[in-house]
Amino acid sequence: MHKKHYVQLTKSMIPELFKRRCPTVDPEPFVAAAHVFPMRVNNHVTENLIDW
């Protein structure tokens, strides 16, 4: 079994994350929301828990 490294993702990574995972969605509203609400997730959340 291959262990993945822990990668923390912050609001500055939102545009690239959307470009790779969901290119049809505009990331700007999510970037704006991240300026108001704390946004910090790890790669497990983005790869396994979010249904893109």
pLDDT band at 38 (very low <50, low <70, confident <90, very high): confident
The pLDDT of 18-41, averaged and rounded, is 93
pLDDT band at 2 (very low <50, low <70, confident <90, very high): confident
Backbone phi, psi, residue 24, to 5°:
-85, -10
Residue 22, Cα to own-chain centre: how many angstroms? 10
Give, in degrees to the nearest 5, the angle at Cα 4 between 50 and 28: 35
Q: How far apart are CA 46 and CA 8, in angstroms?
A: 10
- The tens digit of pLDDT for each residue in 8-24 reads 999 999 999 999 999 99
The confidence score (pLDDT) of residue 14 equals 94
